[in-house]
Structure 1
Amino acid sequence: MAEKNITVIPARKRVGSTAAKEKVKKLRVAAYCRVSTETEEQNSSYEVQVAHYTEFIKKNAEWEFAGIFADDGISGTNTKKREEFNRMIDGCMEGNIDLVITKSISRFARNTLDCLKYIRQLKDKNISVFFEKENINTMDAKGEVLLTIMASLAQQESQSLSQNVKLGLQYRYQQGKVQVNHNRFMGYTKDDEGNLIIVPEEAEIIKRIYREYLEGKSLAGIGRDLEKDDILTAAGKPRWRPETIKKILMNEKYIGDALLQKTFTVDFLTKKRVKNEGHVPQYYVENSHEAIIPKELFLQAQEELHRRNNIYTGADKNKRLYSSKYALSTITFCGDCGDIYRRVYWNIRGRKEFVWRCVTRIEQGPETCKNRTVKEGDLYDAVMTAINKLLAGGDNMMRTLEENIHAIIGDTTEYRISEINTLLEEKQKEIISLANNGKDFEFLSEEVDKLREERQRLLVEDASLSGENERINELIGFICRNKYRTLLYDDTLVRKLIQNVTVYEDHFVISFKSGIEIEV
């Protein structure tokens, strides 16, 4: 048997996606540059990097220039929004680049997972990345060990930067400085100093939304009418979603206040934000800017939102959906079981007509509720009879209404609200003092929460009284304008005047928003 003869063939150091397939005279080299902000100084750095790498690649005789990929003013914590970076990776995957040069790991990625993911992806294609500052070539044996350490440090740097940004925001919040994306916030814009100022034509849309909601229109109904009038949303879209209307009705900025830190970032890498439900402190700034909506009207809207979301009727307290299709929907109640009356199409023995029936009776049968079915014409007549009785009362009715106003004015909550505001101010000073001295202030949180809850309850109560006062004055004005007139049924009029209608076996009770009740 012949003796084995072994010849060693020396390895040829070679990188590049095509190196294993064919002999390539030059490496196709690309550079990646990134600056993280859009300041003038960083823009200069960006231009210097591009010029440096263009010259650096072209002067190397063994390299072929494969382009400069540069992202300007984009964060490095993830690669989703870095268009040039992603274009460069695509070029590598397509076999057009053999080597990537970049200034440092922190310029390439501040996220360890992203950094290693792309480097391994490129290594699979036999493409190396050279980090100039750290002098690391990813194709070296020690490259990935060093890279993991350096990438972790870069991630820590990004986390530290994120924490600094958070502290800066926290300071701004403590100073009561309001940050709003006014480009997508209807009703306001910013002046040269960054303060919120009212846009009059947009403010009229906000006022219209509040007015129509309190007059009984549904969120969807308000949206449809805005669309009919070709009014665009704050984002410039023609479609008004109910959620958009609801957010406007719940946004405290329309009364000149601002709740800061409604959301917070849970992951500095993904930039994911979630609703702040007590996870981090919030700051409520009163009178931070000019109001569009009076506070009383805003609180009435909150009360109405709560009422519509909590319509529980009938003996079993079933939840009913609010409907504004007809003025008497969800405000007409059964005097027997307490459930709402619903408008239905009746066809008995060829007789077709609209009637109103108790929902419990419709759903569970006459054995559960024996109250009557009401013809729509009879219900409308009863409502208008009550309104016309009110008009016929003339001066006597107005005297009664004026007495009601005096009773409301006498029952004020202003003193207690003022007292709570003083207490909250004292507690706030105490919290700031403790925080500045690095001491725990959690023990004050429960006390502050209770005071705020009481103040909110009193404010809602005060708004209800103010709203009732306003409704009485509206009714007085209505009587003055329409004395001795016999009015015909009108949905808009009913929405303005009627609080609810209760149907009994032999009569109706019509309750007005002013507090007056008339039996028909």
Structure 2
Amino acid sequence: MQVRKIPVTRTMARVQPIIARKNVAAYARVSTDRDEQQTSYETQVSYYENMIRERADWNFVNVYTDEGISGTSTAHREGFKQMIQDALDHKIDLIITKSVSRFARNTVDSLTTIRELKEHNVEVFFEKENIWTFDGKGELLLTIMSSLAQEESRSISENVKWGVRKKYEEGSYRIPYGNLMGYTRAEDGGVKIVEEEAKVVRLIFKMFLEGSTYTDIKNYLESQHIKTKFGRDKWDRNVIKQMLMNEKYKGDLLLQKVYTPDFITKKQVKNKGAIPSYYITNSHQGIISVEDFDKVQKIIKDRKYRFGKERLGCHTPYPFSHRVQCAVCKSWYTRSVTTRSNGKKVPVWLCWKNKYESDQRCPSHQVMETVLEQEFVNAVNELLQDKQSILDEWSEKFDATYNTEKLQTRADRIQARMEKIAEKAEKLIEQTPANFNEAYNELLIEYEQLEKDHAKLAAKIRDLQYEGERMQHYLELLQKLDHVDAFDGDLVRALVDSNLLKFARAFIPGYP
């Protein structure tokens, strides 16, 4: 076989190869809003724009920016997210940024983003570390540098937390007034009372102390066209509840109510004893007296403790709420208002089903509120005639009824057993025997069951102590009474809740 070479018969002019221009963008970020950081931010933007425009083979796209935002997560970095989206839409070929820490101090976020960009043929250049992500060694170096940056961010976060807590310990603090109705910033940097808003705060506390619920207060404020701190017409029940529980209204300040356990997600959680908190008394002028604030907290505690369980001890809006039960269907009687033929509105009490469930009406009848009040007064005076025998009976059985010593002994035994299991688990971890998993799981199962048993006993002890305190209060009240001349709503709450008085038999139709 013979091969013959055919020579070139046509020459071509030598020309420079055409190099496609890359679409180049830059990313700049500073993590605080301070003036010195603002200068750094503006310098970064100007530097990268000039740098890109000076290159003939680069086409300037944009300098994407984020101000006052941490780099530990990409979740809230709008400039960063827009840049990545534009890159995935093939608007960018190369991204330039100052360093790995400017891009992300979270290793997972950093590598995930880089790999996604590489799949779309977009390269990233980290100027400080001289890392090009299309380089064979780029990802290894990036992993190392990202991990170092993440550790640096964790260290900075811990230092900041330490500094904040140190200031709290030394009594140095700033009162957050921005969302606090009734207060604004004072000239000396503290807070001062805004009287118009303070009137609303006092009204809310007053209504609650008089028995109104969160919903009652909400509806009243809206009906009176009273606006929120931010000028809104609609109020939120939870906002009202938080106001009633806010110690700042009595002039105190609780610091470190929330904390951030994870420096990457930066999600705040309630501080339930995981870290120290700091309570400062008389830190500023209060709007509500200490006595009224403490009364409100007790009412809230009573409501939370009882509502939905036995409905006893609940400081309800009306004295007879959850205290008069229908003899026919066992539902609660509820308050309503009826209009007579002369146009006069009269409060009445009727079975819940007759007010709200028209398809399941109850045969019981409504009772006028004045009748209920008078029957209650009559029943109390009848009870007082036998007062001494009631007091004598309870003096004999009080300790036996509310004694918690036996329950506490059982709880202590369980606690001791739990501590022994915990010690065994620690030794097991140190020794790491061949049957470690099986042995550890057995201990864990027993520990969790004991933990449940202990929690149940603790709840029983708490219930008994609570009931004992209330009964003691009711008996002391009964001791002071000799005769009742007029209706008293607080007396209803005390005597009916204690089960010392049952007066419904006298007048509710159908009561056995």
Tell me whether the two structures share a fold, i.e. TM-score over 0.5. yes
Deviations along 1:361-381, whole A, 9 cap, x unmatched?
Answer: xxxxxxxxxxxx78512x513
Distance change (3 Å), C-alpha of 1:375 and 1:2: farther
Matched, 1:111 2:110: no
Deviations along 1:57-107, whole A, 9 cap, x unmatched?
Answer: 111111111121122222211122222211111111111111111111111
Rounded Cα–Cα distance in structure 2 between residues aligned with 1:294 and 1:102: 56
Residue 342 of structure 1 corresponds to 333
**Cα deviation, residue 132, structure 1:** 0.8
Residue 31 of structure 1 corresponds to 26
Residue 197 of structure 1 corresponds to 192
- Which AA in structure 2 matches 1:104? S
Matched, 1:132 2:127: yes
Deviations along 1:193-236, whole A, 9 cap, x unmatched?
Answer: 33122211111111111111111111111111111222233344
Query: Could you tell me whether the CA contact under 8 Å between 2:28 and 2:102 is conserved in 1?
Result: yes
- Which AA in structure 2 matches 1:81? H
Distance change (3 Å), C-alpha of 1:499 and 1:187: same
Rounded Cα–Cα distance in structure 1 between residues aligned with 2:303 and 2:255: 27
Q: Which runs of 5+ in 1 are unaligned?
A: 4-22, 346-352, 360-372, 389-456, 473-483, 488-492, 509-520
Query: Could you tell me whether the CA contact under 8 Å between 2:253 and 2:281 is conserved in 1?
Result: yes
**Cα deviation, residue 242, structure 1:** 2.0
Distance change (3 Å), C-alpha of 1:253 and 1:35: same
Residue 371 of structure 2 corresponds to 381
- Which AA in structure 1 matches 2:131? I
Rounded Cα–Cα distance in structure 2 between residues aligned with 1:113 and 1:180: 37
Q: Which one has a larger percent strand, Structure 1 or Structure 2?
A: 1
- Which AA in structure 2 matches 1:247? Q
- Which AA in structure 1 matches 2:310? N
- Which AA in structure 1 matches 2:503? Y
Residue 231 of structure 1 corresponds to 226
Rounded Cα–Cα distance in structure 1 between residues aligned with 2:332 and 2:377: 20
SS in 2 for 1:304: helix
Distance change (3 Å), C-alpha of 1:205 and 1:498: farther
Rounded Cα–Cα distance in structure 2 between residues aligned with 1:276 and 1:151: 31
Structure 2 counterparts to residues 146-165 of structure 1, below 5 A: 146-165=141-160
Matched, 1:184 2:174: no
Residue 247 of structure 2 corresponds to 252
Distance change (3 Å), C-alpha of 1:310 and 1:106: closer
**Cα deviation, residue 328, structure 1:** 2.6
Query: Could you tell me whether the CA contact under 8 Å between 1:78 and 1:114 is conserved in 2?
Result: yes
Query: Could you tell me whether the CA contact under 8 Å between 2:183 and 2:193 is conserved in 1?
Result: yes
Rounded Cα–Cα distance in structure 2 between residues aligned with 1:24 and 1:226: 71
Deviations along 1:462-512, whole A, 9 cap, x unmatched?
Answer: xxx9xx9xxx9xxxxxxxxxxx9xx9xxxxx9768864665426769xxxx
Residue 240 of structure 1 corresponds to 235
- Matching residue within 46, 64, 75 for 1:80: 75
- Matching residue within 87, 90, 104 for 1:92: 87
- Which AA in structure 2 matches 1:73? G
Rounded Cα–Cα distance in structure 1 between residues aligned with 2:84 and 2:139: 19
Matched, 1:329 2:324: no
Query: Could you tell me whether the CA contact under 8 Å between 2:250 and 2:286 is conserved in 1?
Result: yes
Rounded Cα–Cα distance in structure 1 between residues aligned with 2:236 and 2:66: 36
SS in 1 for 2:260: strand
**Cα deviation, residue 154, structure 1:** 0.9
Rounded Cα–Cα distance in structure 1 between residues aligned with 2:147 and 2:83: 23
Residue 68 of structure 1 corresponds to 63
Distance change (3 Å), C-alpha of 1:28 and 1:312: closer
Residue 52 of structure 2 corresponds to 57
Deviations along 1:378-419, whole A, 9 cap, x unmatched?
Answer: x5135268889xxxxxxxxxxxxxxxxxxxxxxxxxxxxxxx
Query: Could you tell me whether the CA contact under 8 Å between 1:104 and 1:131 is conserved in 2?
Result: yes
- Which AA in structure 1 matches 2:47? H
Matched, 1:318 2:310: yes
- Which AA in structure 2 matches 1:28? N
Rounded Cα–Cα distance in structure 1 between residues aligned with 2:240 and 2:70: 34
Deviations along 1:275-307, whole A, 9 cap, x unmatched?
Answer: 111110111111111111111111111121122
- Which AA in structure 1 matches 2:32? T
Residue 401 of structure 2 corresponds to none
Residue 277 of structure 1 corresponds to 272
Residue 121 of structure 1 corresponds to 116
Deviations along 1:110-154, whole A, 9 cap, x unmatched?
Answer: 111111111111110111101111111000000000011111111
Distance change (3 Å), C-alpha of 1:302 and 1:66: same
Rounded Cα–Cα distance in structure 1 between residues aligned with 2:349 and 2:213: 22
Query: Could you tell me whether the CA contact under 8 Å between 1:323 and 1:329 is conserved in 2?
Result: no
Query: Could you tell me whether the CA contact under 8 Å between 2:255 and 2:278 is conserved in 1?
Result: yes
SS in 2 for 1:243: helix
- Which AA in structure 2 matches 1:71? D
Query: Could you tell me whether the CA contact under 8 Å between 1:256 and 1:290 is conserved in 2?
Result: yes
Rounded Cα–Cα distance in structure 1 between residues aligned with 2:331 and 2:170: 50
- Matching residue within 185, 209, 216 for 1:214: 209
Rounded Cα–Cα distance in structure 2 between residues aligned with 1:320 and 1:497: 14
Pairwise CA RMSD of aligned residues?
4.1
Rounded Cα–Cα distance in structure 2 between residues aligned with 1:276 and 1:505: 46
**Cα deviation, residue 238, structure 1:** 2.9
Deviations along 1:9-30, whole A, 9 cap, x unmatched?
Answer: xxxxxxxxxxxxxx86211111
Q: Which runs of 5+ in 2 are unaligned?
A: 4-17, 337-346, 354-363, 379-464, 508-512
Rounded Cα–Cα distance in structure 1 between residues aligned with 2:118 and 2:317: 65
Count of matched residue pairs: 372
> TM-score scaled to structure 2, two decimals?
0.64
